[in-house]
């Protein structure tokens, strides 16, 4: 869902299946069949919304804070997340440590306002390096 300045909200609805966003990304700006069944709004009957539990989902809380901070914070968050998830998948850290590492990386990284693709790539590289360093220093078993 996206909220616009005029207060209107546009929503993209569909069955929860990663084939949809993958097909969207592969065919952009066109649309192709993803193989996912259409969402039957009538049988779904209703949509319920509630506030997310930010204690249960600390990475969501970090993402919201990074988005609000702007500048290079979202770049740092994404780069750190990719490195931390890879470390988790390789059994180098625990699942809860993903959020801890991202938070620590955001805290220890000097945030900037990148104004070019090159500046974004430098920020991404430095954030990945910082995350790897923190994993090695604080979380390696």
Q: Average per-residue pLDDT in the chain?
A: 94
Q: Is the pLDDT of residue 9 over 70?
A: yes
Q: pLDDT tens across 102-135, in order?
A: 999 999 999 999 999 999 999 999 999 999 999 9
Q: How far apart are CA 83 and CA 125, in angstroms?
A: 11
- Where residue 48 falls among pLDDT bands split at 50, 70, 90? confident
Non-local CB neighbours of 66 within 8 Å, separated by 6+ positions: 73, 74, 76, 77, 106
Sign of the dihedral defined by the CA atoms of residues 95, 97, 103, 108, in that order: negative
- Where residue 140 falls among pLDDT bands split at 50, 70, 90? confident
| Ordered domains of the chain (ranges, CATH) | 2-44 (no CATH), 58-139 (1.10.1740.10)
Helices (DSSP H) in the chain: which residue ranges? Answer: 19-27, 41-44, 58-69, 73-89, 95-108, 117-134
């Amino acid at each position: 869902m996206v909220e616009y300045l005029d207060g209107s909200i546009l929503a993209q609805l569909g069955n929860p299946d990663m084939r949809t966003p993958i097909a969207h990304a592969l065919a952009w700006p066109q649309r192709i069949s993803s193989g996912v069944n259409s969402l039957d709004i009538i049988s779904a009957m209703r949509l319920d919304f509630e506030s997310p539990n930010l204690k249960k989902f600390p990475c969501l809380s970090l993402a919201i804070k990074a988005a609000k901070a702007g500048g290079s914070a979202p770049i740092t968050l994404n780069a750190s997340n990719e490195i931390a998830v890879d470390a988790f998948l390789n059994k180098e850290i625990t699942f809860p440590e993903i959020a801890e590492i991202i938070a620590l990386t955001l805290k220890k990284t000097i945030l900037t306002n990148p104004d070019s693709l090159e500046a974004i790539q430098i920020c991404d590289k430095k954030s990945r390096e910082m995350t790897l360093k923190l994993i090695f220093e604080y979380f390696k078993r």
